[in-house]
A and B are shown apart, each in its own frame.
Chain A
Amino acid sequence: MRAYWQTLPLQRRQYLARSVGIGVLLLFPFVDLVWNWQLLNAVTDAAVFVVLALGLNIVVGYAGLLDLGYAAFFAIGAYTTGILTWPPHGLELNFWWAMLCSVPVAALFGVILGAPTLRVRGDYLAIITLAFGEIVPIAFRNLWHIDIRIGGWTLVENFNLTNGPQGLNPVGRPHLFGYEFGFAPLPWYFLILAVGFLVIVAKSRLENSRLGRAWMAIREDEVAADCMGVDPIKTKLLAFALGASFSGLAGAVYAAKLQAIFPELFRFQVSIMLLCIVIIGGMGNLKGVILGGMCIMFFDRVVLAQSTELVRSLGRLVGSGLLARADLSLWRWFFFGLTLIIVMVLRPEGLWPSAQRAAELHASEEKA
């Protein structure tokens, strides 16, 4: 089998691998239904995070800009859709139009944040994005009694934009050819699959384009790239804007799937989780990021739940009351943190790095 695989030409191998991957993804919901795994909802949520991680990978993996506040753009996309489709606002825009609006709005905020800040050094930029990621949810939580007065004129009084801590509910509720998307995960699974497919196609086109090469050049050596005619600010800004627009798209779909959004959904932990997906999977590599996302979600939802059972039966076997009553799901962040440390210490380039990136990391080790 292996020998046969290796005799195939590269293009044919890629083609086969892709068809198998797409086939598995398309068949998964039906397998899930037949075997009654009840995993479809979890997998759909995981897929949203994989799409987000793919967007973050443009910023972190390709352009080499550490972004600690990526959830802000996710929030902006979700809230754009939310505000446009929340009934009390009276707009009640069709979901598909709202989703299309979320993309440029998120990109615009990416440019607004990036334009003044992309000049600063790498780790300062990381802190700026962190601060932005904190400010955005606070703003959404507070923007529900807006008064705007200029002199004696009252332009806006007590305007409720985001409905504060309670959040917007209901939002989204898309229809397609008369079919209403409800709470059942099946249509959402296929929607997010379509979005993910779009993002992956866009990314693999970008990877080998002029812009993709410019990003990598900036990442390797900004000064050298600048000398060769790559405008660093413009290139970085494009990475920020594109990363933000992917995130906005994912945010729109996520808002519609939950049919409700509130500021707590976009906490700092979300940004960090996404960063971990990108880095554990392998920075700058599409397959690595998908693998990283699946690993983290699988670990979270399946491994921890199963190992609780394992530890308990072990406890009953050896007669230890402590183990028999243990609940590992209480310790999920502990194991998550521990995994981050172990992966970074043993394999700082991630599980499946791009060949270039791995070479870079090892080159810097030799130099040091």
Chain B
Amino acid sequence: MTALEVFSQQVINGFTTGSYLALIALGYTMVYGLIELINFAHGDIYALGFFFSLTLFTWLGVPRTLVAALPASTLVWMLPAVMLLTMLGTGVVNVSLDRLAYKPLRRAPRIAALITAVGASFALENIMQNWYGPSQILYPNVFPDVNLAKLALGPSTSILLSTKDLFLFGVTMPMLGALMWFVRSTRLGKAIRAVAQDREAAAMMGVNVERVIATAFFLGGALAGAAGMVVGLYLNTGRYLMGFDVGLKAFTAAVLGGIGNLPGAVLGGYAIGFLAAFSDQYISSTWTRAVVFAILILVLVFRPWGFLGQPPPERY
């Protein structure tokens, strides 16, 4: 592999990781923007998306150990159907989590809701552990895997750009766009922005604050669930704890972009994706997590409002 090829490969890897991190980071940033809660269970909602979609595939008669891709005629209806149901499922779980564990604590100190979020995370992880067992499990390989780089650059190249990469971009990019459009241009999206700015003032103007919060939890959960399914299709393997690590990375992404800021979360997601890919290649994959967290500390110390956030006004 030439140096250029190595570099290009890591750019591709960064894009891939960044895409699903961005989807998950949006859920963190929306919830934080509205109620200033670090939703610790959000990473587990992503893992839940993995397991929901896996169960749906099993119900549709696709074995977990499937190696050869399904025919295109089946994929065309099966993928969207499974994805919609998964997103619905994780969205509903996220909203019920809010109702049961966070809503009673809206007026309590913030640390109380953080603790219930940790509790919810433990409970969800344990459910998934007993559902599919504690070890690494397989996910059906339904999507065709063709190396496009070999087709385009000739057989001598060692770059790997698979159709699966394209599938991942093809799913995540429109979702990111749709969410941006929703928040920017619809009535409910405007309400979300209003509540994020000033909850009490928004309530006085007739915004149903609890409905806005529920919407944000639903959207965040649905996006995280979609990310879980897409990652399952991409990696073909997963584990009940997979949400913990990815959740922390996505949260770092949200902070990096400026927590509460939606385009910031997407930018942060890609930044962390690239950073992780280049650290894997040029430092060492055993240090990547440490590098990501070191960046998190540096950002919080020197620029706590992130890339795109606004420095907060002095409140004295």
Contacts and interface: CB of A to CB of B under 8 A. Distances in A.
A307 to B, nearest CB: 16
B130 interface: yes
Contact of A341 (B120, B130, B251, B286): B120
Nearest to B36: A123
Interface stretch (A99-107, A134-142, A315-323): A134-142
Contact of B122 (A126, A336, A344, A361): A336
B283 to A, nearest CB: 11
B301 A334 contact: no
Contacts of B35: none
B121 to A, nearest CB: 7
Contact of B116 (A121, A138, A330, A345): A345
Contact of A275 (B115, B130, B248, B255): B115
Q: How large is the interface on A (under 10, 10 to 19, 20 to 34, 35 or more residues)?
A: 35 or more
B122 A334 contact: yes
Contacts of B105: 344-345, 348
A131 B116 contact: no
Contacts of B300: 117, 120, 124, 127-128
Contact of B119 (A123, A124, A344): A344
B181 interface: no
B101 interface: yes
Given A127-B255, A128-B300, A344-B119, A138 B111 contact: no
Interface in B59-107: 100-101, 104-105, 107
A365 B290 contact: no
Contacts of B107: 364-365, 368
A66 interface: yes
Contact of A117 (B114, B287, B301): B301
B108 interface: yes
B38 interface: yes
Given A124-B300, A341-B119, A279 B111 contact: yes
Given A131-B294, A142-B287, A336 B109 contact: no
A120 B287 contact: no
Interface residues of B, number: 46
B297 interface: yes
Nearest to A142: B286
A119 B290 CA distance: 22
A94 B118 CA distance: 40
Interface string A259-281: 00000000010001001100100
A19 to B, nearest CB: 35
Contacts of B114: 66, 126
Contact of A361 (B101, B108, B120, B287): B108
Given A345-B101, A361-B109, A365-B107, A128 B297 contact: yes
A272 B115 CA distance: 9
A66 B111 contact: yes
Nearest to B252: A131
Interface in A313-368: 330-334, 336-341, 344-345, 348, 361, 364-365, 368
Given A120-B301, A141-B286, A333 B294 contact: no
Which of B118, B121, B248 has the most A CB atoms < 10 Å from its CB?
B118
Interface in B267-316: 284, 286-287, 289-290, 293-294, 296-297, 300-301, 304, 316
Contacts of A96: none
Contacts of B121: 337
A237 B113 CA distance: 26
Contacts of B180: none
Which of A120, A333, A337 has the most B CB atoms < 10 Å from its CB?
A337
29 contacts: A66-B111, A116-B301, A121-B304, A123-B38, A124-B300, A127-B255, A128-B297, A131-B297, A134-B248, A135-B293, A138-B286, A138-B290, A139-B290, A142-B290, A275-B118, A276-B115, A330-B130, A333-B122, A333-B129, A337-B120, A337-B121, A338-B123, A339-B119, A340-B122, A344-B108, A344-B113, A345-B105, A361-B108, A364-B109
Given A333-B123, A338-B123, 11 more contacts: A120-B300, A123-B38, A127-B255, A138-B287, A330-B129, A330-B130, A332-B126, A337-B123, A337-B126, A340-B115, A368-B107
Interface of A: 66, 116-117, 119-121, 123-124, 126-128, 130-132, 134-135, 138-139, 141-142, 223, 268, 272, 275-276, 279, 330-334, 336-341, 344-345, 348, 361, 364-365, 368
